[in-house]
Structure formats: C-alpha cells, structure tokens
Amino acid sequence: MEIRVRDLGCARGGRAVIAHLSFDLASGEAIILRGPNGSGKTTLLRTLAGLQPPTAGDAGGMAAQAVYAGHADGVKSALSVAENLGFWAEVLGARAGAVEGAIGAFGLQGLRERPAGWLSAGQRRRLGLARLLVDPRPVWLLDEPTVSLDAAAVGTLEGVIARHLAAGGAAIIATHVAAGPAGARVIDLGAHAARPGQAPRGAFDEAVG
Amino acid sequence: MIALLRRDLRLALRSGGGFGLALGFFFILCVLVPLGVGPDGPTLGRIAPGVLWVGALLACLLSLDRIFALDAEDGALDLLATAPLPLEGVVIVKALAHWLTTGLPLVALAPVLGLMLNLPMAAQPWLVASLMVGTPALSVIGAFGAALTVGVRRGGLLLSLLVLPLYVPSLVFGAEVVRRAAGGLDPATPLLLGGAISAGAVAILPFAAAAALRINLR
C-alpha cells in the first residue's frame, strides 16, 4: 500500500487553510502533524477521511482506506462497552474475535457490560480508540488521540499504534504532545498554510461569499 | 445495515431514547380533544378523522430531530459517513427505525383512540390502513428535514417549518380516506394517492437526505 497525496488544498468554513501539501504514506509508516491551533490539522484529517472534498489537488484515494478518529468518539451512552464495539465491528466488517482483542488491548475487560454513559472521560476515549482495532481499513487518521488519557493509557496507545504499523498499517496523527511512534515523520502545517484571502477553488459556499 | 437498525431500535427503547414520546403525545391529544369539544357523539365522529391524522402527524414531528442530531453530536455520524456503508442506506435505515418506533405504534394505538373519538366502526379498518400507508412518508420526509437541519443547534423550529408543508398531502389524503369511509363512500382513491406519496418519498428522498448530510458534515 502506498498513498500519494499531491498538491492538496483544503478549506474550512469557506476559508482556505492548507495549500500545496504533498506527501507519500506507505505501509508501516506514521506521520505526525504539528502546528498551532487553527493551522488546519483537523481540517486536513477530515479531508483525507473523505468527509469534505479537497479544494485542490489529489488525496490519492486515501478516503477508501482510512479510518477517522476525531475529537468526538461516537460512543453511545445508552449502550454498554461491548455493545458499542460490537456495533462498529458489524458495520465495519471486522474479523471474528476483533471485539475481544480490542477490549483487551485497551484494558476495558472489567468494563465490558458497563453502559458507556458511566465511563470516565479517559475510559470513554479508550473505548473510542478501541474502535480502530475492529476496523479493517489500514490507515488510521487520529486527531489528538491522547486527549484525556492518563500516562499509562498513552503508553498503551503508543503500543497499539506500534503494533498496527508493524502489521503493515499506517497512521497520520495530529498531536501537540510528544507522543508518537519512533521514526515517524513530522509535517509542520505552518509551512503549508494558505495565503490569507486565497479563495478555495470549487468550494461549496463560493457563490454566497 | 441490519446492525445499524438493531442499534437504533435498541437506543430508542432504552432510557432517553424517546420511544414513548410520540405515542404519549398522540394518546394525550386524543384524550384531550373530547374533553375540549364536549361529549357530543356526532360532532366528535365528524372531526375524528382530522384529529387522529393531525395527532399522528404532530406526534411524528416531535421525535424527528433525534434521527440525526444525536449521532451528529457524539460524532457517530462522521464515523457512519466514512464507514463502508452507502449514506443513502444509512438514511433509509434511520427512517425505518424512526417509523418502527413512532409510526408503527401509532398505527397500533389508533383504533383504540378512534373508538374514544366515536369514529364509526366502518371507518376503523380504513383508519388503520391509511395510517399504515401514510406514516412511512412522514418518517422519510422527516429524515430528509432532519438531514437538512443537522448542523443547526436547536434546529427544531426550522425543521418543523421545513417539514410541515411537505406533510400536507399525506394529511389531506390520509384524513380523506377515513372521512370517506365514515361517510360510506369508496375510500380507495385517496388511499392509493397516499400510498403513491409514500412510495415516491421512499424512493427519492434518501438520496436527497444523503446529499444534505454530506454538505452538512463538511
């Protein structure tokens, strides 16, 4: 697997935030996105995930192979931990046993039957991240994955990401903290910021302003 | 898709899912109308078709904003949109789940309330038939409206304004079925027209709703 992103531009709310971004992502590789608040990390990840079209360039078919984990975990409070994961496993077509593996990998064994509404923020986050392990798609797009995780859970997450990369997966991680697999490339989005006033081509709200 | 339907039904049945909301509203409305209008049998019988249909329609409207708003708030809609499911299929399944938890209980409860409103016995089967045929259109049109307003915080007013005009044909034909049956006329024509609206809505609107969702998710 090798995904080539070429000359990508993306916009948020009709304003271009990133322009002329190019990189390659191959199996086993990880990319760390850095940049100050508002530099377009989330916008870039949402564009790569296919949630919004790029304003320019080519995402190299990333959307078909990528699984997105954003700020919101998509966890249903009324469902138990196992039910939440089981639902995604069924929707995403996970292989048998993936749910148990995901529960074990993030240390959720004792919480299996607990409604997700009763989980702490960190436990909820771990449940949201466990969804990655029931998704067969190879590229993980992680937006601030360490938010509300304690040091031990961050270590767990790093281990999970390292195993994913070793198994031939890939990851693009937007993060402020130092966490990240060793040997990951760093892309500083500050260097790819769009010039102010640069109009995004073909944007939906181009006509209205 | 079946997993999504199962999850939505499970969520609706658990606490906070709003399963009883529409049913309770429908019931209370139909209990209050005789109290307000007075215990005059013929008058009640005459307004019963309209009251039952307006009640069903408003009850349906109550729970519409939950179709997509809850999933949008907790991020599940983003994940569903990027999951290997067609978004049109997600819309159909969510509309179906809404109908199963709202429309179908209304259909089941309607004959009891029809009795309370002194609806002639001859019209009872037609009341059930008209609701059975008409309520799927209410759920699908509602899903379309909910998809359009999913990005709007507290978009309930906007949703009602968008959806209610689209509900008018279903209301007119549905109530006409019951009125004709109560008056001893042939109710088949409005029933077929109501069915045509439902069939058309189910065929077309999931595509429109999916397009609206894609734009709102940007």
Task: Give the tokens for residue A204.
Answer: 């939906």
- Most B CBs within 10 A among A44, A48, A51, hence the mutation to make, goes to A51
Side-by-side strand order, sheet with A2-12:
A15-26, A2-12, A56-58
Average pLDDT over residues B131-154: 91
Interface test with A, best of B82, B90, B94, B216 (most A CBs within 10 A): B82
Q: Tell whether B93 lies on the interface with A, counting CB pairs under 8 A.
A: no
Give this complex's ipTM. Answer: 0.83
Q: Which residue of chain B comes nearest to A115, CA vs CA?
A: B14
Partners of residue A143 on adjacent β-strands: A174
β-pairing, A139-143 vs A66-69, is: parallel
A167 lies in a domain? yes
Angstroms from A189 CA to nearest CA on chain B: 20
Which residue range(s) make up the domain with A33? Answer: 2-192
Cβ–Cβ gap A91/B74 under 8 Å: no
**Rg of the Cα atoms in chain B:** 18
Checking if the pLDDT of A71 tops 60, the result is yes
The reported pLDDT for the residue numbered A201 is: 54
Instruction: Report if residue A203 sits inside a domain.
Output: no
Contact B79 A52 (CB under 8 A): no
Instruction: Reply yes or no on whether the pLDDT at B212 is more than 60.
Output: yes
CB-based contact A76 B74, cutoff 8 Å: yes
> Using CB atoms and an 8 Å cut-off, which of residues 131-150 of chain A contact chain B?
131, 137
Return the closest-CA partner of residue A149 out of A177, A168, A187: A177
A137-146, A173-182, B141-150, B183-192, range with the lowest pLDDT: A173-182
Chain B positions in Cβ-Cβ contact with residue A87 (cut-off 8 Å): 3-4, 6-7
B26-47 pLDDT tens trace: 999 999 998 988 888 888 888 8
In this structure, is residue A99 part of a structural domain? yes
Instruction: Quote the pTM value.
Output: 0.88
CA distance B167 to chain A (A): 29
Chain B contact set for A50 (CB, 8 A) = 82
Token pair of B91 as six digits: 């819309």
Q: Do B7 and A87 touch (CB under 8 A)?
A: yes
Comparing B200 with B218, the larger pLDDT belongs to: B200
Establish if A201 belongs to a structural domain.
Answer: no
Reported as half-sphere exposure (CB side, CA atoms, 13 A), residue B1 has a value of: 11
Tell me whether residue A135 is in a domain: yes
Q: In the predicted model, what is the mean pLDDT of residues B182-193? A: 91
CB contact under 8 A, B74 and A73: yes
CB-closest option in B85, B215, B217 to A91: B85
Q: Which of A6-15, A49-58, A189-198, B99-108 has the lowest mean pLDDT?
A: A189-198
Determine the Cα–Cα distance for residues A190 and A36; give it in Å rounded to an integer. Answer: 8
In a domain, A60, yes or no: yes
Chain centroid to Cα A123, Å, comes to 18
The structural domain count of chain A equals 1
Would A205 be classed as within a structural domain? no
Inspect the interface and report whether the beta carbons of A51 and B81 lie closer than 8 Å.
yes
Angstrom CA distances, B170 to A14, B15, B47, B163, stand at: 39, 31, 17, 12
The answer to whether the Cβ–Cβ distance between A52 and B217 falls below 8 Å is: yes
CATH number at residue A17: 3.40.50.300
Is residue A206 assigned to a domain?
Answer: no
